[in-house]
Amino acid sequence: MNFALLAEYGPALGQGLLNTIFLSVVTLAIATPIGAAIALIRETRIPWIAIPAAIYVNIFRLLPALLVLFFSFYALPQFGLRLSPMTAAVLGLSIVGAAYMSEDIRGGLAAVDQGQYRAAKALGLSYPHIIRRIIIPQAIPLIIPPYVTRAIIMVKATSLASLVAVGDLTGEAVRATSITYEPFMFLIMAGALYLLLSGALALFQMWAEERVARARRPRTSLTVKAAQV
């Protein structure tokens, strides 16, 4: 390990890490509500909104994310829309991420027993009420594992932003490698930092699952007896 080089390029790697965190947080913050909205829209089965949502999902799910990023940064200026590298990356990654995320969320919603819908409807509850009070609480435990996995994939996908001129963690590691010709040190550093970021999300998943499981755990016999009294 060459500590002199590490000291020289450490600040640039740190800035790259901050850019990666910013890109991850903003992309997830945009993609999550859009993905949830698309999933709910598709679950309504109302053709005039569900079909366009399905078309959106399938177009962006089937296109390579890199192609979308290249289009947003290199092609849009040809149409008069000149985005900064970071804005283009956020736009491209959010569009693609929302398409994937909607499928993860829709899977969770669809996994809730259809009898729950029918029973709630028979009780006269409105669709928003059914979704909010009956379906979503049961779907969340099912959604958490695929959602966090998707979030981890999206964090790693931010490395594509280096190809549209964003100085993210991958970009700065590649830059340092190209200048110093030290092929391992900076890539290993970047890998370790990605592990930390993704690891934090994996820990969040464990915490969230544990919390949901605790909330759904049957009350103890003592509690039940106390309730009966």
Which residues are at the interface with another protein (CB under 8 A)? 74, 77-78, 82, 85, 162-163, 165, 167, 171, 174-184, 187
| Cβ 67 to another protein shortest distance, Å | 14
What is the distance between the alpha carbons of residues 26 and 87, in angstroms, rounded to a whole number?
10
Helix (H) or strand (E) holding 5: helix 3-44
Q: What count of other Cβ atoms lies within 10 Å of the Cβ of residue 41?
A: 19
Q: Counting every residue, how long is the chain? A: 229
| Cβ 82 to another protein shortest distance, Å | 6
| Cβ 157 to another protein shortest distance, Å | 16
| Cβ 171 to another protein shortest distance, Å | 6
Nearer to another protein, 20 or 32 (CB): 20
- DSSP assigned state of 75: I
Nearer to another protein, 152 or 161 (CB): 161
Nearer to another protein, 71 or 204 (CB): 71
Nearer to another protein, 71 or 127 (CB): 71
What is the distance between the alpha carbons of residues 43 and 139, in angstroms, rounded to a whole number?
13
